[in-house]
Amino acid sequence: MKKGVLIINAFLDTPQVNKTYDMLKMGAKRAGIDMNVATNADFFTHLDSGLVKAHKHNNLEGTGFILFWNKDVFLGRALERMGYRLYNCADAIEACDNKALTFEMLEGICRMPRTIKVPMTFNTIGYGDLSFEASIGAQLGYPYVIKECLGSYGGQVYLANDSDQARQILKQIEGKDCIAQEFIETSRGRDIRAYVIGDRVVAAMERYNPDDFRSNITNGGSAKAFAITKDMESLAVAAVKGLGLDFAGVDILFGKNDEPILCEVNSNAQFTGLLAATGTDITDPLFEYILSR
């Protein structure tokens, strides 16, 4: 029997993520995989020696692969240096986690909204002078989107309708790295979540929220199954390949003529919403993919 270890985050404990872990455990069982579960706090990464030492019972011996459901990329990289194959790879997870890094890496690979890295400041200093905002506004037009580089569930994504609002938002989040992005009006409150495994989309849903520009389900959006188009599939797969991922949930916006535009890539996407909307349990194709490697 093939052995694997699922490494989850020790401190993340919500009904939604626990459901995700349960689905992964059941999917592994169906695929005939003996799957142990560990957390990132079961190990210490010794940065001086590069070694990972388990300080709990969790032993990685005999493990064929690690399903790294985690953003603890220092642990991930150390495990990789020790020879373990991680799904997803630590560098790819890091590239997804930071929205500026995602767009930087996918420049020239995927169609994306015009995106400007907001000048970095220090969290102990903030922005004294916000006059640079006028240039961002002039280039992107209003409204435009401001996103903290680290964020999820729509919680750190803001719409600035005018210069005053933009400056207010920047002031409120000062010290956090962020990007400013063209608002794709034709996609207001609506996008596609495409779940990519390897070189294909295994399930997709349309998310919509008439009351908010963000379509995230956790933020009150609804979802229905969506038949992915060839163009969207190409964009989603190119994003996954470009970031070095094995699988991911890719958010896609609708351009003026419904042309797909990349919104973001999630290396550790939840998939309970996708199951509810489409009836597809992505853990089956996921373990099939891992076993085929």
Ligand X SMILES: Nc1ncnc2c1ncn2[C@@H]1O[C@H](COP(=O)(O)OP(=O)(O)O)[C@@H](O)[C@H]1O
Interface residues toward ligand X, by CB under 6 A: 113, 145, 147, 151-154, 157, 181-184, 187, 191, 213-216, 251, 253, 263-264
**# of chain residues touching Mg ion (CB under 5 A):** 2
Contact range with Mg ion by CB under 5 A, out of 23-31, 37-45, 237-245, 250-258: 250-258
Measured CA to CA in angstroms, residue 116 lies from 101, 187, 273 at distances of 12, 19, 31
Nearest distance from C-beta of residue 264 to ligand X, angstroms: 4
| DSSP calls for 135-195 | HHHHHH-SSEEEEESS--TTTTEEEE-SHHHHHHHHHHTTTS-EEEEE--GGGTTEEEEEE
Which residue, 66 or 95, has its beta carbon nearer to ligand X?
A: 95
State how far the Cα of 163 lies from the Cα of 183, in Å rounded to an integer.
14
Which of ligand X, Mg ion, none does residue 213 bind to, with CB < 5 to 8 Å depending on kind?
ligand X
Nearest distance from C-beta of residue 235 to ligand X, angstroms: 15
Nearest to 285, CA basis, from 247, 259, 255: 247
Which of Mg ion, ligand X, none does residue 192 bind to, with CB < 5 to 8 Å depending on kind?
none
Which residue, 171 or 224, has its beta carbon nearer to Mg ion?
A: 224
Nearest distance from C-beta of residue 186 to ligand X, angstroms: 9
Which of ligand X, Mg ion, none does residue 145 bind to, with CB < 5 to 8 Å depending on kind?
ligand X
What are 219's two structure tokens?
Answer: 């933020």
Where helices occur in the chain by DSSP H, the ranges are 15-30, 73-81, 90-97, 99-106, 132-140, 163-172, 230-242, 272-278, 283-292
State how far the Cα of 122 lies from the Cα of 175, in Å rounded to an integer.
5
Nearest to 274, CA basis, from 188, 169, 202, 172: 202
Nearest distance from C-beta of residue 14 to ligand X, angstroms: 16
State how far the Cα of 73 lies from the Cα of 70, in Å rounded to an integer.
8
State how far the Cα of 16 lies from the Cα of 9, in Å rounded to an integer.
13
Which of ligand X, Mg ion, none does residue 233 bind to, with CB < 5 to 8 Å depending on kind?
none
Nearest distance from C-beta of residue 104 to ligand X, angstroms: 15
Nearest distance from C-beta of residue 182 to ligand X, angstroms: 6
Nearest distance from C-beta of residue 268 to Mg ion, angstroms: 12
Give the strand pairing for 178-182 and 144-148.
antiparallel
Site for Mg ion in 256-285 (CB under 5 A): 264
Looking at the chain, how many residues does it have? Answer: 293
Which of ligand X, Mg ion, none does residue 191 bind to, with CB < 5 to 8 Å depending on kind?
ligand X
Which residue, 97 or 251, has its beta carbon nearer to Mg ion?
A: 251
Site for Mg ion in 189-228 (CB under 5 A): none
Which residue, 27 or 154, has its beta carbon nearer to ligand X?
A: 154
Yes or no: say if 244 and 89 are a contact pair by the CB < 8 Å rule. Answer: yes
- Residues within the interface to Mg ion (CB under 5 A): 251, 264
